[in-house]
Amino acid sequence: MKAVFDVKPGSGYDDDITRRYQFPARSNYLEAARGAVGDWALYREPQRNGGRRVYIAVARVVSVVPAEAGHYYANVADYLETPYNVERAVQNRSAKLRLVA
């Protein structure tokens, strides 16, 4: 996994997470997305905006293309939701993944 895509409930971005993920053209975001082409990305629902702070899916990044001014799309294929939401819990500075029913 070379990228983590945050997907928030009520996001203002033009996402269709099964096909594309929109992000701002900040250099670190663009560099990370381009570096993930041909590899898998992990979808995370962060706590902001009422999110559950869980990982919900994976997809293969196939390309990165310009979108509207100042944004890009990471086009994805082979989108696969996790059968369970996977919670990220941090204890004593080590990350653990836990299944959440």
How would you write the pLDDT of the chain (101 residues) with one tens digit per residue?
A: 788 998 887 778 888 999 999 999 887 899 999 999 999 999 988 877 666 778 889 999 999 999 988 999 999 999 999 877 676 655 544 444 444 44
What pLDDT does 49 receive?
Answer: 64
pLDDT value for 13: 87
Helix (H, G, I), strand (E, B) or coil at 34: helix
For the chain, the domains span: 3-100
| 3-100: in CATH 3.30.70 | no
